[in-house]
Chain A
Amino acid sequence: MIFNLPDVLFPLCDAPGAALIGINKGEDFLKNSGLFEEYPSCIFVCLDEEKFYLEKTPHKEIPALESFEKALLKSYHKINSNLMKRLVDANKSPNYIPKPKKIKYTSNNDDKNNCIEICQVFKEKLHEKLISFIPKTPIYQDAEQVSLNIPFRFSKILES
């Protein structure tokens, strides 16, 4: 994760694997610099303009997590009652102008408790849907067997 990526390090957008990058500039910069054309594997999210730039190909669809949404809806509604998506696809609505939105800079105890509740519901859901399916002990725990023994590795993977 890089909070504010300087100009000279923009090629990091081409790095392999996942990355979470922040750039302290607006959408004009994204359009003028040609970053979207240069790094199509990235998803560019313009927070001020409420748009995202995503290369549309069938195998790159982002799935919706409906079970998470159902579980979180009640607690999330206490903080944000907006049920619709805010971010719009820049390819579909290039001239979209968002309504001005006040950013919440301060919080009270209620907000804090609501946030904790959301995090806890999220934790339970994440455990139920993902972490509980991961084996409790690493499959290569036996140190003697940790080698480049490919048939052994495959058999362990199949067992798990």
Chain B
Amino acid sequence: MKNIEFSTSLDFKLKGNFIELNTALDIPEKSKAYLMESDWAYPTVFDYFPLKDLLWLFSAMMLERKLVFFSKNLYLLTASLYAIQLRFSKYSNSNLAQQFHLF
């Protein structure tokens, strides 16, 4: 398997029944790795959720509540989970890790 490194471009092929698509994913530098989803998940989620709702969900996460999302739209479901997890939990954890000089 190809090594994935920061500040590089990851080229890959998507094979469908009728088409074959060559595409690339830009991987930002380490300090901005949390912005990787700004291409697809964040615009969808920020456009869908008003700020009040997003902060309400963040507040619930900070209280360690269990959040269960229902949606028939898999794209919206995945983007919501991705954005909330990265922006709120994992992202804040990575800051904590930096604060504690863990990496």
Which positions in A face B, CB cutoff 8 Å? 1, 3-5, 13, 15, 17-27, 29-30, 35, 39, 41-48, 62-65, 68-69, 72-73, 76, 79-80, 82-87, 101, 103-105, 107, 111-112, 114-116, 118-119, 122-123, 126-127, 130-131, 134, 136-138
Interface size on B, residues (CB 8 A): 51
Per DSSP, are chain B's interface residues mostly helix, strand or loop, or mixed?
Answer: helix
Chain A residues with CB under 8 A of B69: 20-23, 45, 47
**B9: Cβ under 8 A from any A Cβ:** no
Let me know if A44 and B49 touch, CB within 8 A. no
- Whether a CB of chain A sits under 8 angstroms from the CB of B59 is yes
Could you tell me which B residues sit within 8 Å of A by CB distance?
34-35, 38-40, 42-44, 46-53, 55-61, 63-78, 80-81, 84-85, 87, 89, 91-92, 95-96, 99-100
B71 CB to nearest A CB, Å: 4
Quick one: which of A25, A111, A127 has the most chain B CB within 10 A?
A: A111
Task: Find chain B residues with CB under 8 A from A122 CB.
Answer: 87
Contact A79 B47 (CB under 8 A): yes
Tell me whether A3 and B51 are in contact (CB under 8 A).
no
> How far does the alpha carbon of A62 sit from the alpha carbon of B69 in the complex, in Å?
17
